[in-house]
Amino acid sequence: GAVVSQHPSWVICKSGTSVKIECRSLDFQATTMFWYRQFPKQSLMLMATSNEGSKATYEQGVEKDKFLINHASLTLSTLTVTSAHPEDSSFYICSARAPGLNTEAFFGQGTRLTVV
């Protein structure tokens, strides 16, 4: 099946710094990518939807200036957590979907972010 690669798989950063997470679709063109956050034993919460070449659509309550999303090509989307704080520590997962109505989404391995 199709592969979505997410990098890094884990990162520890100091409070106040920024962290960039990459999501790549390796063998298909992803017109739409989604970014999620998941706290321990909680459900996947959609943060934003990004379409290639246009601005991301953020879910209510998600700060677009804090979570910068760039979907510059059909195979790469990035999420930058700016000025990270301990409460941003979470599991971040991306997914990518190929064009079409009946297409499944492929998920990355996830990134465990710890802000100290």
Q: 48-87 mask for another protein (x: CB under 8 A)?
A: -x-x-----x------------------------------
69 to each of 55, 100, 102, how far by Cα in Å?
8, 23, 25
Per CB under 8 A, the list member of 8, 18, 43, 85 interacting with another protein is 43
Size of the site for another protein (CB under 8 A): 26
Q: Is 105 in the site for another protein (CB under 8 A)?
A: yes
Q: How wide is the angle at C-alpha 108 spanned by C-alphas 55 and 111, nearest 5°?
A: 90
- Phi-psi region at 55: left, alpha or beta (left = phi > 0; alpha = psi -120 to 50): beta
The answer to the question of residue 106 lying near another protein (CB under 8 A) is yes
